[in-house]
Amino acid sequence: MRYHGTIMRWDYELGFGFIKEEQTKSEIFAHIGEFETENPPPRDGETVSFDIVSNSHGTEEAKNIEYTNRRRKPVAVDIETEEDSPKNLSLWLKGMVAALVGIPLLGAAGYYGLSRWQDYQAEHRVTGVMVDQVADKMMAEREAWKRAVESPAQRKAASPFKCDGRTHCSQMKSFAEAQYFLEYCPNVKMDGDRNGIPCEEQFADEIKQAGMDTGKNNGSIGSKLAGMFDDNDNDNERGGIWSDNDGGRKRR
């Protein structure tokens, strides 16, 4: 079945883009090698007809792409004319000489052409793998973007959890459930230090595996400064230095 669509977002450097199918409005991946002609290259807005197949990664691709907005060049037809001149010996000898010279040249050209064709196939295979990788990356980025623009209400509706009045860590069955309740449910009492991580003692292993920093290993700046002043006071006491009310320093 032939499909019709419009070329969009064509990348001239990488040689691929997408075709927007006119019925389903879906974007189908297209490679320059699948067009009926590569020169001039495809342009955004051109209309084409094509077949759709699935590649090894399960992604749909356009094949056998033909332009529908470009005029086809008429095929030149050679009209043979009859010549009245006789085929004499001179013409026959010229034909034999041309054949003797041309056959080795044709053999050499065929060998060179075969070598070039094999090189082209190898290069095309490598390019095809790179194109598949780029296409997969673009698809993954598109899916990530769709997930990122989903509203919190949509994410909440898609969650298997729901607010049911529970407010304490002892009522939570998993760390994911505790996170949901902390973000969406009112009056919860699961984050005493207000660091955004609920039920740290109950789900310590899961929090550690997730690589979250609870801040419990880092003392506060105030406590560190207090420790510094305590150390200075201890040093002053050991040195026998004390201060009177007038601000002067005296030794005990």
CATH at 4: 2.40.50.140
pLDDT value for 79 = 56
**Residue 242 included in any domain:** no
Give the residues of the chain that fall short of pLDDT 50.
82, 84, 219-252
Does a structural domain hold residue 92? no
What is d(CA 194, CA 178) in angstroms, rounded to the nearest whole number? 14
- The pLDDT assigned to 223 comes to 44
Cis peptide before 41 (omega within 30 of 0): no
pLDDT for position 30:
92
Residue 165 maps to a domain: yes
Contact of 8 with 17, CB cutoff 8 Å: yes
Whether residues 122 and 169 fall in one domain: no
User: Is 172 part of any domain?
Assistant: yes
Residue 189: inside a domain: yes
Q: What is the pLDDT of residue 36?
A: 84
Looking from the CA of 136 toward its CB, the CA atoms found within 13 Å total 10
**H or E segment at 122?**
helix 89-149
**H or E segment and range at residue 250:** strand 249-251
Q: Is residue 162 part of a domain?
A: yes
Cβ(159)–Cβ(185) below 8 Å: no
pLDDT of amino acid 71: 79
Task: Indicate the number of domains in the chain.
Answer: 2
Q: Within this chain, do residues 34 and 131 fall inside the same structural domain, yes or no?
A: yes
Q: What integer pLDDT is reported at residue 240 of this predicted model?
A: 44
Give the pLDDT confidence score for residue 124 in this predicted structure: 73
In a domain, 93, yes or no: no
Q: What pLDDT, on a 0 to 100 scale, did the predictor assign at position 141? A: 81
Same domain, 154 and 122: no
Full residue range of the structural domain in which residue 65 is found: 1-69+115-140
Task: Output the pLDDT for position 216.
Answer: 63
- Tokens at 134, concatenated: 């780029």
What is the pLDDT at residue 154? 64
Q: How many CB atoms lie within 10 A of CB 32?
A: 19
Is there a single domain that holds both residue 46 and residue 154? no
pLDDT at 202: 94
| 194 three-class SS | coil
pTM value is 0.30
